[in-house]
Amino acid sequence: MSSHHNSSSAASDPRQPSTANPYVPPMIAPQDLPVDYSGFIAIVFGIAGAMFRYKLSSWLAIIFCAQSLVNMKNVENDLKQISMAMMSVEKFGEIGEPNAPMMLAN
Amino acid sequence: MSKRSSSVWLAPLPSLLFLRGETLWYYLALLSVLSLLGQELTRSSVLASSDFEGFGDEADDDDLSESLQTSHLPLRSSLSPPILTQSHFESDPEPPQQSPPPSDPTPPKPSSSIPFDFWDEDEFEGLPIETPPQNPQSPENSTPPASESDPKSTTKVSPSLRSYTVEIVCVSFLIAFIFNYFTGKRENENIALSWASRFAIKDSIFEKNFSLLGTGDGKDTPLLLKEGQNVFKFYASGRRFCQGLLATMELQSRHDLISRVYNLIVPCKDEITFEVYMNEDAMDQVVFALAKKKAAKVMHKEVMDLQRYANLVSAPNNRKWVVEDLAVISESKEVAGDLISETVLDQVFGDKAFEKFGKGFISLHFSDQHVGTHRKMLLFKFALTDANHMADMTRLVALVPYYIDLIGRYKLSSQARSKTEAARSKAAQEAYKELLNARQEALQKRKADRKKMMEAEAKLSAEVIRKKEEKERSRQMKKGKPKVKMTRAH
């Protein structure tokens, strides 16, 4: 347990500078990356908002898109999906229309 | 001089044009917000303004506005449209007589008797300008009785507010989300930095045990590598018995408001995982795990090497053992007894010590049969304490260098070695059999596909076969004919 305490004496020093290897980040294939659920949900809501003209759906797409952006780890791989979600929200989503029908309206 | 100054001014232009990474996202988000704001402003201005010729005031006709609330059509004037076709013409047209405003405060409803045959809804010219009826109240009637006041008007929310409820809720949520992002990010960074300042700076436990600290190969390199907003990595190398150590801090997603709300319902801990990559010659044939009872059962079922080589080890009678909360999974009792030494029991895993210092313990897993690039590996999993109480983890973190040395020096007895070798050879045979079976299955599939193809061909009618034969015959005939070269005489 106390292997680190007696590091003052050279004989018991566990350090070996000659064996030190610099850190090499592991190469992760795009298919091995964890699924970006929030990005996928953003796309689904964005398309729903565009097709059915639901402003709530478009707003939810923006929220999930923000979540996807916030949780992004590997920028290069996630970029496509998030940009797709952004586009579907921006281009087609009926966000600002005050008279657009609500999804849950009676 | 002027040239120089101009080049200085123009220097940042390419960097602005070719944005990358997070900057691009910030600009994109800003652009989208501005575009949304622009849309909102234009829409609201169009809806609010009644300056267009022929458009009346919305307040004049409550019933009509209620009926047209859901439609996107502009509100029509409450006055009845004038009849544009007249049967006779007057030579001396008079200006239209303006009747005095009626005493009745309610505006006149359009009569149903007026024909709409020649009325064009899109025609705005020639509509009379409607003046709202002014009804100055006398001081006597300044307070109308309760019976006269309309109950609907008091309870009804203004339509403009009602139509923007979704926007208000969503925008406020987004603002909260952005605010939480920065606060949560700061919290996570504080936890990671407090851990690093406790265990990875000068004269700390890792500095005394490893010659290289941090992810870079220079001296002034950052200790922590930030992989995400809640994932931080610390790397150390240059120690006997091992190639290196990688500590991964997986913190709660405090930066994400949705995850934070979810974590309130389903609580989870901040975790730190130490992966120690052992040298090939340093580690003997050891498969060992220690975890809380529930977690140990799950590990035994799910982790491949534990499932294949190890079993749950019961507590021996003649010596001290780990706390009842913990379960030991090992290849043999001998290995378990050697790895759970007196020192470890006194420091962390004993009855008294575990209550004080073992709160953050999750699991240990040592194996020479790990699946992945590094076969021989030691895995330590601990729960992180909050930034102010990092000292509570000292004994748990001290287990890492202790076990590196213990396993680096550890040698199995001849009996235990023969058992482990037998188990490994058996596992290798099983793996080889599985591979052969997979190959055979693939061959059988191919054969089945070929058979299906043959059957399909056999099912073809005789005529089709005859046609095929004729085609082949004609092709062969063409091949058999002598080739005559045609040359054109000049």
Nearest to B259 by CA among B202, B193, B184, B199: B184
**pLDDT for the residue B207:** 85
Query: Which residues in chain A touch residue B70, judged by CB atoms under 8 angstroms apart?
Result: 99, 101
More confident residue, B286 or B15: B286
Question: Which of B164-173, B290-299, B447-456 is the least confident region?
Answer: B447-456
Average pLDDT, chain A: 70
Which pLDDT tens digit goes with each residue over B105-133? 555 545 445 555 555 666 656 656 555 55
8 A C-beta contact, residue A21 and residue B243: yes
**pLDDT for the residue B485:** 60
Which pLDDT tens digit goes with each residue over A8-28? 455 578 888 888 988 888 877
Q: Is residue B78 predicted with pLDDT exceeding 80? A: no
Q: Is residue B291 predicted with pLDDT exceeding 90? A: yes
Average pLDDT, chain B: 74
Interface with chain A: mutation pick from B41, B208, B252, B340, highest number of A CBs within 10 Å: B208
Question: Which of B35-44, B94-103, B228-237, B247-256 is the least confident region?
Answer: B94-103
B 359-398 residues with CB < 8 A to A: 373, 398
What interhelical angle do A75-87 and A37-52 show, nearest 10?
20
Question: Which of B2-11, B22-31, B411-420 is the least confident region?
Answer: B2-11
Q: Is residue A79 predicted with pLDDT exceeding 70? A: no
Question: Which of B41-55, B317-331, B378-392 is the least confident region?
Answer: B41-55
d(CA B414, CA B422): 12
Which pLDDT tens digit goes with each residue over B295-313? 998 998 889 888 878 888 8
Q: Is residue B194 predicted with pLDDT exceeding 70? A: yes
Of B205, B217, B237, the CB nearest to A4: B205
CA distances from residue B107 to A6, A56, B62, B104, B135 in whole angstroms, order as listed: 98, 38, 10, 8, 12
Q: Is residue B18 predicted with pLDDT exceeding 60? A: no
Q: Is residue B236 predicted with pLDDT exceeding 60? A: yes
**pLDDT for the residue B33:** 64
8 A C-beta contact, residue B269 and residue B384: yes
Four-CA torsion B440, B441, B442, B446, nearest 10 degrees: 100
Question: Which of B10-19, B436-445, B456-465 is the least confident region?
Answer: B10-19
**Domain boundary assignment for chain A:** 34-92
More confident residue, B155 or B233: B233
Report the alpha-carbon angle B179-B183-B185, nearest 5: 115
Taking any CB pair shorter than 8 Å as contact, residues of chain A touching chain B are 1-4, 7, 14-23, 25-26, 38, 55-56, 59-60, 62-63, 66-67, 69-73, 75, 86, 89-90, 95-99, 101-102
